[in-house]
Chains A and B, each alone.
Chain A
Amino acid sequence: QQQVKQSPQSLIVQKGGISIINCAYENTAFDYFPWYQQFPGKGPALLIAIRPDVSEKKEGRFTISFNKSAKQFSLHIMDSQPGDSATYFCAARDFNKFYFGSGTKLNVKP
């Protein structure tokens, strides 16, 4: 059973556009929600993370929106660039275990 459900599976965005990736969860014990970016041939790298007591966190062009009551969180990439083309994973932590979404392959067209 997938603990964290991620959508869409793939996303095509024009350069300068906004990329939005969504995740949903059921386990209310999750206490930390990171997003990872993975380029081909590389391991995932932490992009931005949020705790459930915060509704929004922004770092540069990347923003996490968190809706605790709906058990949903999303990643917004503003002014998307071709260099953002990668696979993005949301994750959630319960104690020391991390559960990952299935990934979204983002393609930003020039």
Chain B
Amino acid sequence: KAGVTQTPRYLIKTRGQQVTLSCSPISGHRSVSWYQQTPGQGLQFLFEYFSETQRNKGNFPGRFSGRQFSNSRSEMNVSTLELGDSALYLCASSSLAGAVNEQFFGPGTRLTVL
């Protein structure tokens, strides 16, 4: 079974630009969560989607948004990029939202904002 895939793996953008990251969950998984990982703040929850609906949202500004498609693939968008948005963005999929199922993480997208 293929794991969680994220594209692109690396991105360099400049301040003020917009970026879209993509995540393909494990086949059959309907829940996708997004996290931001930075050396200073660690892993922080962005949002979770289940069956195309956002079920939970972390404490991030509205510049961070996401969506999920009918095939469970998810995208995350960050508008008006700031230097502080430089981070590793991870997505994780699980088969059932809320179930005691493990989350499988993708390798992440490394975003650098110049």
User: Which residues in A have some Cβ–Cβ distance to B below 8 Å?
Assistant: 31-32, 34, 36, 41-46, 49, 51, 89, 91, 95-103
The answer to whether B45 has its CB under 8 Å from any CB of chain A is: yes
Complexed CA–CA distance, A42 and B102 (Å): 17
Q: In this complex, what residue of A is CB-closest to B90?
A: A43
Q: Given the known A-B contacts A43-B105, A49-B102, are A101 and B90 also in contact in the complex, defined by CB atoms under 8 Å? A: no
User: In angstroms, how far is the closest chain A Cβ from the Cβ of B5?
Assistant: 11
Query: How many A-B contacts at CB < 8 Å in the complex?
Result: 53
Chain A residues with CB under 8 A of B90:
43-44
User: In angstroms, how far is the closest chain B Cβ from the Cβ of A95?
Assistant: 7
Contact A95 B98 (CB under 8 A): yes
Contact B105 A100 (CB under 8 A): no
Contact B105 A45 (CB under 8 A): yes
A–B Cβ pairs within 8 angstroms, 24 of them: A34-B102, A34-B103, A36-B105, A43-B107, A43-B108, A44-B43, A46-B103, A46-B104, A51-B100, A95-B98, A96-B31, A96-B33, A96-B48, A96-B55, A96-B98, A97-B56, A97-B58, A98-B45, A98-B103, A100-B35, A100-B42, A101-B42, A103-B42, A103-B43
